[in-house]
Amino acid sequence: MTEFDHSVEVVTKSDIESRVGELGQAITEDYTGRDPLFAVVMTGSVPFAADLVRSVQLPAEVDFLGLNRFGESGHIGIAMDLSTPVFDRDVILVEDIIDTGLTLSVLRRMMMDRGAKSVTTASLVDKKARRVTEVPIEYRGFEVGDEYLVGYGMDWQGLYRNLRSIWAVLDMESFVEDPAVLARSLGMAARPRWAKQTR
Ligand code: 5GP
């Protein structure tokens, strides 16, 4: 695990590969004889979903939905809906992080209201200690603390979704001052628009 002053790698590429493989195996066993619909919540879940669905040995379908989140209130809106009807389908929601649980509880209810036969959730990480509303997570990758995470889909200011491992921010001020601070430490040439503000 690599560590810098501002952040530390908390879940490595190989940890992710083996855990996602286990989740895919569990889904394969649980859904044998069915053809689930993976409903992938954009954008943070995309790398996880891509690896997860390829480790599932079933005739599965994959579709995407995008959300608008309105502050801390827990209100969410659909920015881009699924194109596949969920009526009578076994839906597996794919999320990057379950934090307060508010987003997930709204999504689960929405899928049931649309007549889904069943709804379960696969989440890469679970910030269990921060839960505001109880919501089941049938397929959980990693339970983590309450640090802000980036990497493997998760972003800060749009950056870091393309990292292969998961990092915890140790010093948020460094990331506020220079969003590309971790990219620079990893030897990536950050574009000028990410240059440090010196004024
Ligand atoms: P909640 O469970 O609170 O309704 O919302 C979960 C969403 O909050 C996640 O899908 C993600 O977009 C965002 N989120 C929560 N914690 C983190 C974090 O540590 N890192 C990043 N990048 N996003 C987070």
Q: Determine which one of 30, 99, 155, 178 is catalytic.
A: 99
Ligand 1 centre and the CA of 101: distance in Å?
9
Cβ of 97 less than 6 Å from ligand 1: yes
Domains defined along the chain, listed by start: 7-194 (3.40.50.2020)
Please tell me the predicted confidence (pLDDT) of residue 189.
84
The proportion of the chain whose per-residue pLDDT surpasses 70, expressed as a percent, equals 94
- CA 125 – CA 97 distance, rounded (Å): 5
Does residue 126 carry a catalytic annotation?
A: no
Please tell me the predicted confidence (pLDDT) of residue 193.
67
Dihedral sign of CA atoms 51, 106, 166, 156 in order:
positive
Residue with the bigger pLDDT between 192 and 79: it is 79
pTM to 2 decimals?
A: 0.94
Is 92 within 8 Å of 121 (Cβ atoms)? Answer: yes
Over residues 78-101, mean pLDDT: 97
Cβ of 142 less than 6 Å from ligand 1: no
Please tell me the predicted confidence (pLDDT) of residue 75.
81
Cβ of 135 less than 6 Å from ligand 1: no
Over residues 133-162, mean pLDDT: 97
Is 33 within 8 Å of 59 (Cβ atoms)? Answer: no
Residue 88 backbone class (left: φ over 0; alpha: ψ -120 to 50; beta: rest) = left
CA atoms within 13 A on the CB side of 28: 13
pLDDT at 72 over 70: no
| DSSP-assigned beta bridge partners for residue 125 | 97, 142
pLDDT at 71 over 60: yes
Cβ of 99 less than 6 Å from ligand 1: yes
pLDDT at 150 over 80: yes
Please tell me the predicted confidence (pLDDT) of residue 70.
77
Please tell me the predicted confidence (pLDDT) of residue 17.
98
pLDDT at 101 over 70: yes
Ligand 1 centre and the CA of 166: distance in Å?
14
- CA 143 – CA 24 distance, rounded (Å): 17
Please tell me the predicted confidence (pLDDT) of residue 136.
96
Query: Where do the DSSP E strands lie in the chain?
Result: 7-11, 37-41, 61-70, 75-80, 90-98, 118-126, 139-143, 149-150, 166-169
pLDDT tens digits along 7-64: 999 999 999 999 999 999 999 999 999 999 999 999 999 999 999 999 999 999 999 9
